[in-house]
């Protein structure tokens, strides 16, 4: 179901992206709605799929993740079967935090995290190169993140 977002919906979405754990009362006050109207709108946004899920952003170093990598994967073939087999398998790799089918020189771009260089070596040689249909793996070490924003721009 497509939903037309009005000004209040956009305010709600901006506020929830900033802090999804705030109470409905705080959210309602922040966007200038009554609590019941705010809750009704949030439920509609959830039902329409505008809000897909709620999650927590973790501190990578505090959970033992010290390195990140951008991985470009080229497959041997690009049939629907090849893509489907790779996509199903890559979803089972917990160190892969993002995977996008792309245009250009590679088929997929992955964002991958590891505890350290040895952990990445294991991941590269024992997991990523063994995914279905992989012909080439090209990796770049992330020196530091400049922008790390899980939110989307909500205009209006």
> Which CA distances in Å does 53 have to 17, 56, 89, 97, 143?
11, 10, 23, 16, 30
pLDDT of 156: 66
pLDDT at 33 over 90: yes
90 and 116 housed in the same domain: yes
Question: Are 92 and 140 spatial neighbours (Cβ–Cβ below 8 Å)?
Answer: no
Q: Is residue 32 one of the residues assigned to a domain? A: yes
Dig out the tokens for 39 from the structure: 């809750």
Cβ neighbours around 28 below 10 Å, total:
21
67 and 114 housed in the same domain: yes
Q: What is the pLDDT of residues 67-114, one digit of tens each?
A: 999 999 999 999 999 999 999 999 999 999 999 999 999 999 999 999
Positive or negative: CA dihedral 61, 67, 69, 75: negative
CATH number at residue 66: 3.30.70.920
130 and 74 housed in the same domain: yes
Instruction: Count how many domains the chain has.
Output: 2
Q: Which of 65, 86, 88 lies closest to 77, judged by CA?
A: 86
Phi first, then psi, for residue 47 (nearest 5°) are -65, -35
> Which CA distances in Å does 107 have to 8, 25, 82, 95, 132?
39, 46, 11, 19, 13
Question: Are 51 and 112 spatial neighbours (Cβ–Cβ below 8 Å)?
Answer: no
Q: Is residue 85 one of the residues assigned to a domain? A: yes
pLDDT of 23: 97
Q: Is residue 72 one of the residues assigned to a domain? A: yes
CATH number at residue 30: 1.10.10.10
Note down the domain range covering 137.
Answer: 61-141
72 and 137 housed in the same domain: yes
pLDDT at 1 over 70: no
Question: Are 118 and 125 spatial neighbours (Cβ–Cβ below 8 Å)?
Answer: no
What is the overall mean pLDDT for the chain? 95
68 and 128 housed in the same domain: yes
């Amino acid at each position: 179901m497509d939903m037309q977002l009005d000004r209040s919906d956009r305010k709600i979405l901006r506020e929830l992206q900033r802090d999804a754990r705030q109470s409905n009362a705080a959210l309602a006050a922040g966007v200038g709605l009554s609590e019941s109207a705010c809750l009704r709108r949030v439920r509609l946004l959830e039902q329409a799929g505008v809000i897909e899920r709620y999650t927590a952003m973790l501190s990578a170093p505090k959970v033992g993740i010290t390195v990140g990598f951008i991985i470009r994967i080229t497959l041997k073939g690009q049939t629907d079967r090849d893509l489907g087999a790779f996509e199903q398998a890559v979803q089972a790799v917990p160190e892969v935090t993002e995977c996008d089918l792309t245009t250009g020189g590679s088929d997929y771009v992955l964002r991958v995290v590891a505890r350290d260089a040895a952990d990445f070596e294991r991941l590269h040689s024992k997991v990523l190169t063994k995914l279905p249909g992989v012909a080439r793996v090209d990796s770049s070490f992330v020196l530091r993140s400049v922008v790390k924003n899980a939110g989307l721009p909500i205009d209006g």
